[in-house]
Amino acid sequence: MPSRRQVWYYEPSPVARLLRPLGEHYTLRAFPRRATLARSHPKQQTLTTELIVGVADLERDNARELQQMAGDGERFRLIGLVGAASDRMNGGGDADVFAFLPRRVPAPLLERTIAAAFENLELALRERAAREELARTEQEMEELNRIGVALSSERDINALLNLILAKSRQVTNADAGSLYLVEEVAENSYQLRFKLTHNDSISFPFQEFTMPMTEQSMAGYVALHGEVINLPDAYHIPPDKPYRFNAKFDQQTGYRTRSMLTLPLRNPKGEVLGVLQLINCKRRAGIRLNSPEAFEREVVPFSERAGRLAYSLASQAAVAYENNKLYADIERLFEGFVGAAVTAIEQRDPTTSGHSSRVCTLTVGLAEVLDGADTGRYAQVRFSAEQMKEIRYAALLHDFGKVGVREEVLVKAKKLYPTHLALLRQRFDYVRKELEARIAQEKVRCLVEKSRDEALKRCEVLEQEFRRRLAELDDYFEFILRVNEPTVLPAGNFEKLLEIAQQTFCDPRGVEHRLLTPEEVRFLSIPKGSLDPDERREIESHVIHTFNFLLQIPWTREIRGIPEIARYHHEFMNGKGYPYQISGEQIPLQTRMMTVCDIFDALSAADRPYKKAVPVERALDILDMMVKDNELDPDLFQLFLDAKVYELTSTRR
């Protein structure tokens, strides 16, 4: 076999004799002195693997042509022969010349110079190979880092699995691939789920299925042992291996599986979470394998380098997948916490059961409508997935602070507390009995002191007085029961209430009392709802309790706006809300959406002890009045109205 080291020179040349002994170590090639590159040696331009040292007389030979014939300048070194008087011998001359020697160079010197030139070539080639290897490694590391960032930032589990398989195929130039996940079916019992498959050359219907995790399949073997299987041809598996290739897919589709690389998705603890199977490494990316010739021509075994890259990516993928599962577990845990918090609210006030969930549904629905709007004031507003999550959690937890409100205030259904009404009823019953007893005594006295006719006349008058006073008491009490009912809008006949409050009666000791106490008058005079100013302030404090509670939760950076969104859900655009009296754009957009939905549900929800449910149309009318009073955002209410967001909870009331 010819040496990969070649020495070129022109003939006739004085050095020919000196070079002949070197034929044992090098391939010697002589060229006619008047040769031209294009006419005599056109193929020399394609030399790429030989190392060439040219020896030429720089004054007689065409050294540049010799260099051009060598082609690759990094594989060629020129030794120039010059006259003894040439200034090139003193360090001047061409930079392309490796060494200058006298025409009458001694053979040993020429031999050592040629050997040095070859060593220089080999050193240069090793340096170039090292640079190329370093550049390739840096590129691969950068790509792996980019992939790692992409994997770690993907929160959707299905998108993550697709990304893992796609990037694994990309870095190995695989035509197809599959992904299996390890699933625990019982304690210390596992199975494989065939989760995902990609194929650039053919399309076919795919459906997930499970399979036993045994050594009989390559995926099962890798899952059990954590080893990598790299097969040049899946149809030629060594007979001592327990696994076999299932050719059913190839038979059904006409595909031809050849090279296969099967790797474990192993976490840092050494646990195998899944199996990655890459199929048919291609020489050129983008080529479709649509014929037997294409499979034969394009498919090559997975290289050791490809295996290392895929294994490194699989390790990153395992960490990303485990983190994603952990993130999903945390999400479920937090969902459970939120659900428990909402349940705690509703258990304290069962009459508002479902309110938080309905407000959440309505607010998220309105946010989705706003997010898709392409006209109007909010046409440019878009919510990210994290912002939608903020809106959802803030809506679910907006009333959690009610756990800090006294239960008797929280569930107060009427203007008077039940105990107050019971005492008032007993007082009226006492006044009735006292009236009845006093009239009876007066009748007895008349019968004793007066004649029969006078006594009968007087008793008749007393009976009429008794009936009149009894009817008056009944009327008073019925009126009290009516004004005790809360109203959605301000209402009340408080003049008659003051009239009743002026009525008096005497207790058994003769002490005079008013029919209504000042506290009862104060409660019954509440113009709207069932709460007096002090009670309303206590109820309103639930907003601050909610905010303080939510501040204690270590929210992630993406959803840390939840406390602020929930904090202002009772503020109005005109600054007359509570508890901070902020207005307009000071109120977060997400909160303004929640306020519309919160008020709508409070108005239209099922009957509560302190109010009757109003029809949807009436609730919308009230909201419209609030918009006109500059309490609600008009653009958000219009979106709520136009998109019929209010219908989202119509079947859940």
pLDDT of residue 143: 67
Average pLDDT over residues 601-616: 74
Burial class of residue 138 in the structure, from the number of CB atoms within 10 Å of its CB (0-12 exposed, 13-18 middle, 19+ buried):
exposed
232 upstream amide cis, omega within 30 of 0: no
Q: b/e for 424-451, b at 16 or more Cβ within 10 A? A: beebbeebbeebeeebeebbeebeeeee
The predicted pLDDT at position 221 comes to: 95
Name the DSSP letter for residue 233: -
Cβ-defined contacts of 617-624 (< 8 Å, 24+)? 619/646, 620/646, 622/488, 623/596, 623/599
The CATH number corresponding to 154-326 among 3.40.47.10, 3.40.50.300, 2.102.10.10, 3.30.450.40 equals 3.30.450.40
Q: Which CATH superfamily is domain 349-409+538-649 in?
A: Hypothetical protein af1432 (1.10.3210.10)
Amino acid at residue number 384? S
Q: What's the confidence (pLDDT) of residue 498?
A: 86
600 exposure class (CB count in 10 Å sphere: 0-12, 13-18, 19+): buried
Most confident of 383-387, 593-597, 605-609: 593-597
DSSP output for 240-256: TSS----THHHHHH---
Q: Among 58-67, 562-571, 642-651, where is mean pLDDT lowest?
A: 58-67
Which DSSP category does 608 fall into? B
Torsion angles phi and psi, residue 36, rounded to 5 = -120, 145
Angle between helices 452-483 and 494-501 (to 10 degrees): 130
Q: How confident is the model at residue 39 (pLDDT cuts 50, 70, 90)?
A: very low
Q: Residues with Cβ < 8 Å from 39, sequence gap 6 or more? A: none
* Tokens matching residue 620: 């919308």
Q: How confident is the model at residue 201 (pLDDT cuts 50, 70, 90)?
A: very high
- The pLDDT, as a whole number, for residue 505 is 87
Distance CA 229, CA 246 (A): 15
pLDDT greater at residue 291 or residue 495? 291
Phi, psi of 12 (to 5 degrees): -80, 150
Q: Residue 510, SS3? A: coil
Q: How many CB atoms lie under 10 A from the CB of residue 297?
A: 14
| More confidently predicted of 157 and 564 | 564
Segment holding 37, helix H or strand E: helix 37-40
Q: Output the CA torsion sign for 227, 230, 234, 235.
A: negative
**Per-residue b/e over 99-132, b at no fewer than 16 CB within 10 Å?**
bbbebebeeeebbebbeebbeebeeeeeeeeeee
Q: What mean pLDDT comes out for the span 73-99?
A: 71
Residue 9: Cβ-neighbour burial (10 angstroms; 0-12, 13-18, 19+): buried
Closest CA to 292 of 257, 252, 260: 257
In 3-state terms, what secondary structure has residue 457? helix
User: 354 pLDDT band (50/70/90 cuts)?
Assistant: confident
Residues forming beta bridges with residue 514, ordered by sequence position: 504
Poorest-pLDDT segment among 147-151, 152-156, 191-195, 597-601: 147-151
Look at 226-235, 455-464, 590-599, 641-650 and tell me which has the smallest mean pLDDT.
455-464
Enclosing H/E stretch for 32: strand 27-32
Going from N- to C-terminal start, the domains of the chain cover 5-128, 154-326, 349-409+538-649, 418-527
Closest by CA to 565, choosing from 594, 528, 524, is 594
Residues paired with residue 229 on neighbouring β-strands, in sequence order: 262
The residues that bridge with 282 in the sheet, in sequence order, are: 299
Quick check: 40 pLDDT over 60?
A: no
Ranges assigned E (strand) in 39-173: 51-57, 76-82, 97-102
Tell me the pLDDT band of 1, cut-offs 50, 70 and 90: very low
Residues above pLDDT 90, as percent of the chain: 37
Count of CB atoms within 10 A of residue 54's CB?
26
- pLDDT tens profile 413-462: 788 888 888 999 999 999 899 888 888 888 888 888 888 888 888 888 88
Report residue 349: phi and psi, to 5°: -135, 75
Q: Is CATH 3.40.50.2300 what the domain over 5-128 is classified as, yes or no?
A: yes
Asked which of 69-83, 241-255, 379-393, 569-583 is least confident by mean pLDDT, the reply is 69-83
More confident residue, 35 or 332: 332
**Token pair listed for 431:** 């006044």
Higher pLDDT, 487 or 65: 65
Tell me: the pLDDT tens digits for 92-119?
A: 445 588 999 998 889 899 999 999 999 9
DSSP 74: G
Instruction: Round to whole Å and give the CA distance between 444 and 480.
Output: 34
pLDDT of the residue at 87: 55
User: pLDDT averaged over the chain?
Assistant: 85
Cα 297 from chain centroid?
43
- Residue 290: how many other CB atoms lie within 10 Å: 12
Percentages helix, strand, coil for the chain (3-state, rounded to 5) are 55, 15, 30
List residues bridging with 57 in a β-sheet: 81
